[in-house]
Structure 1
Amino acid sequence: MNSKVLKWFFPGVTLVMFLTFFFALLTTYVPPNLSELLSNVTGTLSFCIMLTLVLISVRPKGVEKRLGLTHMYEIHAWMAMVLPLTLLIHVFIRWSGLENILDFDLTTASIWGYVGLLSLIVVMLTGIFVLSDTLINKSKKLLNFKANANRNMHLWLHRLAIISVIAIHFHVYNVWYLAENVAYKGLATFYTVVILGWYAVYKIGIARLPKYEIVNISKPSERIHEFKFQPVKGKRMDFDAGQYGFFRFVDSKVDSEAHPFSFASAPSEDSNTMTVMIQEDGDFTSTLDQVKVGDQLTIEGPYGDFYTEDIRDSNQPMVLYSGGIGVTPSLSVLREEVARNSNRRIIFIWGVGFENQLMYYSEFEKFAAEFPNFSHHIIFSNEEVEGFAYGFVDKDYIQSEGLEEYFQSATWHICGPPPMLNAAKKMLEDNSVPEEHVRIEEFAF
C-alpha cells in the first residue's frame, strides 16, 4: 500500500469507529437541536480519537513496517492536537459554558466524565510538550523545556490515557439517553476491550522480551558510551543496518524505562552481537557510568526504514549525512556496505560541533583507502579544526566538496538534531531532490 495512503490508516480507524457509533446513536435518539448534535458528535469523536491514540501506542508492526514509526508518531501528535478542540466543544456545550465546569452537579455520568477529562488533560500536555518533537521542533524554548523535563515522570503521567479511556467508557454507560441503546454501549465495550486488550498483550510481550548481556563498554568520545551486547540465550534478533530499538536496562542502576537508540553495528559484521552508542544528554543518560559489563537489557524492535531492502540491493550512489550523535545509523549502514564489499559510490558527510566529539576517524580513513568509491567529509560548526571545513552543511559546502551532482543521482540518508534536520530538508527541497530518494530518521518521540 502507498505510504501516502497509509498515512490515513489511523484517522480512517477513527472515522470508522465514529460512523458506527453515530449510526448506533440514531437508532434510539435523534438530537433535538444543532447544539445537542454537535455535543454528541464531538464527544463521540473525542472517544474515538482517544482509542486510536492508544492503538498507535502499541506500534502495530504491520503498519509500522510500511509507514514508519516516526510518521506514526507524527499522526499521533496531530490527532492529539485535534482532541483538545473536540473535547472543548463537547465540554462547553454540556456545561453550558466553561464557567460552569466547576459547578459540581455530580451524577454517575458526570463523575466518570470528570475523571476522564482531568486525566486526559494531563495526557495531552505530556504528549504535546514532552514526549514528541513534532509540534515543538521550531521552538528553542519548548525544546529546552523538553530536554530539562523529567521524561520518566511524564511517561507515567502519559499512561493515564488508559484511565481516561476506561473512565469515558463508563461515562458512556451512564449518559441518560444511551441507557437503552444496546448497540452504542456494545460498540463502546467492544472497541475498548479490543484496543485495551491489544495494549495489555503488547505490555505482556514487553515483559517477556529476551534478555541481552553487555559484554563490552567503551567511550569513543568524552560524552559517548558504546555498549556491545549479546543474547543471554538463543540467537540475536534480526535487524537491518540503520534501524533502532527501544532499550530497557533491567538490572542496572539506571531507570528501566524504554529509550530509542540506533544500532551502530552492521548485521553482517557479527551474527551474535550488536552495538549501540548513547550520548550523555541529561536525564537518565547522566547515569550511564553506572552501567557495567554483565548488566542485562531488553530490546523492543527493530524499527525504522533508514536503509530499506530496495536501497541495499541497488547500486545507486548513497549520501550518509549526519549531525552529532545522529551519525549512529549512518555508521551502521556504512559498516554494512563495507562488510558486503559494496562498490557503490558512498559519500559520508558528518557535521560535528567540537574536535573532541569526532569519533572513528581512523576507521573512515581505512575505508577510504580500501574502497575508492567511498569518501568522507567532516565539517565542524563550533570551532575551527586544522585540516577540516568550518561552518554548516549547505549548498555552498556541497559544491565546494564537488558533490552537487548527487542531489539528483543519490539516495540521501539523514539523521541529526531537529535544527539540522530542518536545514537539511530545506536544502534538499531547494535542490529538487526527489522525495522518494530521501530517508530521514527524526527520533521525534
Structure 2
Amino acid sequence: MLKKHSLALYITWIVALAVIPLPLIILTNSRLTADYEDLFAYDVGILAYVWWLVIIFLSTRPRWLEKYIGIPSMYFLHASLGVAALIAATAHKFLSRGADHLVETTGDIAWYLAIVGIIYAIVFMSGWLVDRFKLLRQIKLKLSIICSHQVSVWIHRLNLLLILLIWLHVHLIDDFSEMTSFITTFDAYTYIIIGYYLLAKFITLFKTNGTVIANKQLAPNTQQLVIKLDKNDPAYQAGDFYFVSFRGSKLIGREKHPFSVTTAPKNDPHEITFTIQKLGDFTKKDPISTNWNKSIFRRTIRTI
C-alpha cells in the first residue's frame, strides 16, 4: 500500500504530524515560563491531543481527502496517529511533575481510555496482528459474537470522551488557563474538529437508498452485487466507493463496509455493480455468499 506515495500523501502526513500541532507548541514555549523538562512534557501532551483531534477528523472520511490520498492510506494514517498519540501521551504522563488531584485524575482516565481503545482496535478492528498470532485470532473468534463491528465502532467513539477529559484536564491547569492566547487557540482546535465531526454525522443521516437486484459468484472468492439506486438519488461516477449497510434481515449485520464501484455510469447511472473479493470477516460470512436466500438481498441498503 505504501510503496508508491503521492505528493498529496506526503503533505498530509507532514500537516497531520507537525504543522497542525505547531501553533499550540509555539504558544506554549513562548508564553510559559518553565524549565526544559516541563516544556517538553507539555509539548508531547499537546502532540497527543492534536493527533487525537486529527483522528476524529479522519473518522468522518472526508471525501476531498480520500480523493487525493485514497481510503487505505487514510486508514493507515488514522491507525498510525492513534499509536503515536498514545506514545506521546505516555511520555507526557511519566515526564510531568505532580499536579492537582483533579488535573491528574482527568489525565489518567484519558490515558487508560487510550490504552483500551488501542488494544481493542488492534484485536477487533485490524487484522495486522490477529492474522499473525494464533492466540489473538482465537480470542477474537470467541468474543466476536459480543464484540460486533458496530460495537467496535461505538467503543472507538470513546475518543470523544477522551477529548472531553483532556480538554478539561488542560483547562484545570492554572498555567494554561491564564494564557488567553493559548486557551483561545486550544478551544478553537477542539470546537472546529468536534463541530466538523457532528456536522458530518448529521449529513450522513441523508443516505442513498437502493435495492440489490443481482448477487452472483464469479469465482470461489469473488462475488458480484448489482444494486439499483432510487430514481431520486444522485448518479454515481466511475471510481466512486460506497459505505454499504444492509437492512431488513437478522442474518446480515447492519454495519457499513466500503466497496468500490466496478462499472461506469454510461449505461445506467442508477445501477451500480460491486465486484467483491471475499477476504475479510464480513465478506466471508455475511451477505457475500450465494448460499443465502435471494430474497434477503432484495432489501433496502444505505450508503454514505
TM class by shorter chain equals 0.7 to 0.9
Letter matched to residue 300 of structure 2: Q
Deviations 1:238-283 (A, max 9, x none): 2325x53211224432332211223344433433211235538545
Deviations 1:61-101 (A, max 9, x none): 222211111112222222222222211111112367xxxxx
Pick closer, same or farther for the CA change 1:214–1:52 going to 2, 3 Å. same
Cα distance change, pair 125–20 in 1 and its aligned pair in 2 (3 A): same
* Structure 1 residues 222-371: aligned runs within 5 Å: 226-241=224-239, 243-253=240-250, 254-278=252-276, 279=278, 282=281, 286-288=285-287, 289=292, 292-300=296-304
TM-score by length of 2: 0.80
Q: Relative to structure 2, which stretch is displaced further, 66-75 or 210-219?
A: 210-219
Please show how residues 138-177 of structure 1 align to structure 2 within 5 Å: 139=132, 141=134, 144=137, 148=141, 149=144, 150-177=148-175
Distance in 2 (alpha carbons) for counterparts of 1:18 and 1:26:
13
- Following superposition, the deviation at residue 35 of structure 1 comes to 2.2
Q: State the one-letter code of the partner of 1:216.
A: A
Q: Aligned partners of 1:69 and 1:275: how far apart in 2?
A: 19
Matched position secondary structure for 2:75: helix
**Which of 104, 117, 125 lines up with 1:123 in the alignment?**
117
Instruction: Name the structure 2 match of 1:203.
Output: 201
**Structure-2 separation of matches of 1:283 and 1:161:** 24
1:282/1:40 CA distance change after superposition, 3 Å? closer
Q: Distance in 1 between matches of 2:68 and 2:135?
A: 31
The counterpart of 1:90, out of the listed 69, 89, 92, is 92
Amino acid at match of 2:28: L
Paired positions, count: 288
Report SS of the residue matched to 2:303: strand
| Counterparts in 2 of 1:175 and 1:129: CA distance versus 1, 3 Å | same
CA separation of 1:43 and 1:142: change in aligned 2, threshold 3 A: farther
Give, in whole Å, the separation in 2 of the partners of 1:179 and 1:141: 49
Q: Report matched runs for 1:97-136 at 5 Å.
A: 107-133=101-127, 136=129
Q: 1:171 to 1:145 in 2, by over 3 A?
A: farther
Unaligned 5+ segments in structure 1 are 97-104, 301-445
**How much has 1:195 moved relative to structure 2?**
0.7
Deviates more, 1:59-68 or 1:108-117: 108-117
Report the Cα distance in structure 1 between the residues aligned to 2:80 and 2:138, rounded to whole angstroms. Answer: 20
How far is the alpha carbon of 1:180 from its aligned partner? 0.9
Identity level (%): 20
**Does the 8 Å contact 1:77/1:132 carry over to 2?**
no
Flag the 1:282–1:172 CA change in 2: closer, same or farther, 3 A.
same
State the superposition RMSD in angstroms.
3.1
Instruction: Name the aligned partner's letter for residue 229 of structure 2.
Output: P
| Aligned 8 A contact 2:263 2:273 in 1 | yes
Whole-Å Cα distance in 1 between the matches of residues 112 and 65 of structure 2? 31
Q: Which runs of 5+ in 2 are unaligned?
A: none
| Aligned match of 2:54 | 52
Point out which structure has higher relative CO (alpha carbons under 8 A, 6+ apart): 2
C-alpha change, 1:37 and 1:95, in structure 2 (3 Å) is closer
Classify the secondary structure of the residue corresponding to 1:207. Answer: coil
Compared with structure 1, are the counterparts of its residues 257 and 95 closer, same or farther at alpha carbon in structure 2 (3 Å cutoff)? farther
Q: CA deviation at 1:144?
A: 4.1
Structure with higher helix content: 2
The CA distance in 2 between the partners of 1:79 and 1:145, in whole Å, is 27
* Structure of greater Rg: 1
**Could you tell me how far apart the structure 2 residues matched to 1:83 and 1:238 are?**
37
Q: Deviations over 1:331-371 (max 9, x none)?
A: xxxxxxxxxxxxxxxxxxxxxxxxxxxxxxxxxxxxxxxxx
1:42 corresponds to: 44
Deviation, 1:106, is 7.1
Checking the alignment, whether the CA contact within 8 Å between 2:6 and 2:69 is kept in structure 1 is yes
- The answer to whether the 8 A contact 2:245-2:303 is kept is yes
Q: Which residue type is aligned with residue 60 of structure 1? A: P
| Structure 1 residue matching 2:296: 3-state secondary structure | coil
Query: Per the alignment, do residues 175 and 257 of structure 1 end up closer, same or farther by CA in structure 2, a change over 3 Å counting?
Result: same
User: Secondary structure of the equivalent of 1:185?
Assistant: helix
Amino acid corresponding to residue 125 of structure 1 in structure 2 = I
Counterpart pick for 1:81 among 80, 83, 91: 83
Asked if structure 1 preserves the Cα contact closer than 8 Å seen for 2:238 and 2:263, the reply is no
- Secondary structure, aligned partner of 1:7: helix
Residues 1:23 and 2:26 aligned together: yes
Aligned match of 2:177: 179
C-alpha separation in 1, matches of 2:248 and 2:283: 14
TM-score, scaled relative to structure 1: 0.57
Deviation, 1:186, is: 1.3
Change (3 A) 1:200 1:138: same
User: Are 1:193 and 2:186 counterparts?
Assistant: no
Residues 7, 75 of structure 1: 8 Å contact kept: no
Which residue number in structure 1 is paired with residue 67 of structure 2?
65
**CA offsets, 1:347-404, max 9 Å, x none?**
xxxxxxxxxxxxxxxxxxxxxxxxxxxxxxxxxxxxxxxxxxxxxxxxxxxxxxxxxx
Give the direction of change, closer, same or farther, for the CA distance of 1:267–1:145 in structure 2 (3 Å limit).
Answer: farther
- After superposition, the C-alpha distances for 1:259-316 in whole angstroms (9 at most, x for unaligned) are 122334443343321123553854585343376244111222xxxxxxxxxxxxxxxx
Does 141-150 or 54-63 show the bigger shift? 141-150
Contact 1:227–1:275 (CA under 8 A) maintained in structure 2: yes
